[in-house]
Structures are given as structure tokens and as C-alpha cells.
Structure 1
């Protein structure tokens, strides 16, 4: 069996595509209306000749230069955005069949592993492909950071390249020392 390929996101052009599709659809509707009015299938006046006549007396103005620069920069941004690589939010497991975990699943796995440690009241985490950040609320902070780091690292060991683990411990004693108990 051939291994599965890694899933990738829609990429940054995913936002621009629907906007351009709407603009092209609107242009198509205007051109279709013009064709129907020209052939006499629909009564009305043509819009394009009126718009061209309105531009006839258009003289150069100072604001056209910045407007042209802005349009050129938008076009350049669209080109760069179109060729940028698509985002990857999955991590491969050490298997021959191509099994991948999404970063949100890696975060859930880390939270579960941290929550199983004695002394942890609540655990939450976030993950990227390179780092897992675990935040735990605990009864005490003595040696808990190392225990949580070890448990999370052990639970992420099946990943081909395990991300770096960063643990933050919040204990009631820290709140009292800062005067947050109001």
C-alpha cells in the first residue's frame, strides 16, 4: 500500500479567490446585460457606452499616481500570495502508511497527558508543528513542571519529529504572592 500524502491547507490565496470570483461574476452579469440590451432581448439603455463617454473628458490628476502605485502593489501582493506554499498543520507519525495528526489533535494529546499527572487540576495546550505549549493549574509547583514535560514528551514520542514542549505551571501560591486573590 502506498503511503498517504500529508494534507495541506488551502493556502493564503484561499481568501482572495472568492473575492475575485465575485468580481468576475459581476463583470459577467454586466456584459450579459449589455449583450441582451444590444440584441433587443431586454429593453433599456447600454451602460458601457455611457461609462466610456464619462471617461472621455477625464484629464490627468495628481491622485492617479498614488492610485496606480496602490493597484500595482496589490497586483504584486496577489502574485506573491499565489506562489507561496500552502500551510501544513499536520505532523507525521512514525509509520509506513502515512498517518498524520493535526496540530489541534497534538494539543489535545498533550493536554490529556498533562491532566493525568497527580497534582494537576486543569491542563490546556496549544500546538504548532514545532512547539507545544502546555499551561497547567496545579495544587503545587514542586517538580510538577518536569513531570508534565516528561509525560507530554512521552505521549508525543510516536511523532516522526516531536515538537518542543514548553510547560507553564500556575499554582495558588503564585497568585497569593502576587496579590491576585482579591
Structure 2
């Protein structure tokens, strides 16, 4: 009886992006730090029994004579909408910018690397003068400069073959920019 060898490494997991709330985190960190500084200042001024007012007491005294204003309604609605957006953004799944490659060890390509592969494959086709690609999670768009008729089909086949290693096949779209200018009289 033969025992199959175990793989040398565990398969890697797919990388994920920071998500939409990633930009808000530093702002919340600054606000939380500022709140901590205010609370620390007030706690130290109470312990020292030093003359002077705490910052929170000064803030409360400043708000003491505050009365309702017309602009508080739209401001409250705006704050509530921002809060709901933050909750939705925090609960949404993080973005995935990588695509799985057929392998046993968990190999992934970023979408920009898939675009580079597609551009390199298109550049290898005879008759293509230049190629540029943009890739998403489900499709790749290749723009080629060529004056050869029927080049789009050959580029699509070549790019499809190059991207066969992906677990989920991608739709390949080909745009051809022709620079051929017929002369007058032709």
C-alpha cells in the first residue's frame, strides 16, 4: 500500500483588499486619540486639584445656552446618513483583486498582472504594433494597434490560451485601432 506524500506547504488563501472603510479608519483613530487626550487632561486636572477648569466642563458650559436652530435638522439627517453608510461599508465583504490560478499550492494573480499577461500575449501576435490591456475580475479588454484585417480573432485566441491557467475563465474583449490612412486617389 502506497501512501501519497503530503504537500510541502498549505495552499495560500486569496488576498483581499482593505474594503471601503479602510480610509475612514485613520480618521477614527485620530478622533479616538483626541478623545483620550481630553479625558486624560480632565482626569489629571481633577487628581491634582489644580485651579482651572476641565475641558469637558468648559464645553458643557459653552453648550448650556444653546437652543434649537433650523440647521440642526439637515445636519442631523446628514450625520445619520453618514453613520448608516459607515455601517453598510463595514459589513460589506472586502474587495478581491486577485484571481486564482490552477495549482495545488494556492497561486493567485492580481488583476493588473492578468492585464500584463494579456498585453504580452497580444504583443506576440504577428501584425500587432502595440497592445494595452485592462483587466477586471471577470473580463479583460485588450486594445491593439494594427492594420491587419481579422487581427481581433487571432489576438482573442492567443490571449485566451495565455489565460487558460486561471480557475475561472475570463471574457476577452479586443479593440483594434487602425492607423491606416488611405492616400487620396486610392
Paired with 1:134 and 1:107, the residues of 2 have a C-alpha distance of: 8
Give the structure 2 partner of residue 30 of structure 1. Answer: 38
Which residue pairs with 2:4 in the alignment?
none
Shift of the alpha carbon at 1:35? 2.0
Is 1:60 the counterpart of 2:68 in the alignment?
Answer: yes
Scaled by the length of structure 1, the TM-score of the pair is 0.89
Q: CA RMSD in A?
A: 1.7
Secondary structure of 1:66's partner? helix
Instruction: Give distance in 2, aligned partners of 1:53 and 1:32.
Output: 19
Aligned residue number for residue 77 of structure 2: 69
Q: How far is the alpha carbon of 1:172 from its aligned partner?
A: 1.1
Matching residue of 2:173: 166
After TM superposition, the structure 1 = structure 2 runs for residues 37-56 of structure 1, keeping only pairs within 5 Å, are 37-40=45-48, 45-56=53-64
Report whether the alignment pairs 1:14 with 2:22: yes
Unaligned runs of 5+ in 1: 178-182
SS at match of 1:157: helix
Pick the aligned partner of 2:90 from 82, 92, 114: 82
SS at match of 2:143: strand
Alignment gaps of 5+ in structure 2: 1-6
Q: 2:138 and 2:52 mapped to 1: Cα distance?
A: 61
From 147, 157, 166, the equivalent of 2:154 is 147
Q: Deviations over 1:110-168 (max 9, x none)?
A: 00000011111111101011010111112x13011111111101100111112100111
Query: How far is 1:27 from its partner?
Result: 1.1
State the SS of the aligned residue for 1:172.
coil
Q: Which residue of 2 aligns with 1:3?
A: 11
Aligned equivalents of 2:27, 2:176: Cα separation in 1: 45
Does the residue aligned with 2:175 lie in a helix, a strand or coil? strand
Measured in 1, the distance between the counterparts of 2:163 and 2:100 equals 11
C-alpha distance in structure 1 between counterparts of 2:79 and 2:174, whole Å: 46
Q: 1:167 to 1:37 in 2, by over 3 A?
A: same
Number of equivalences = 174
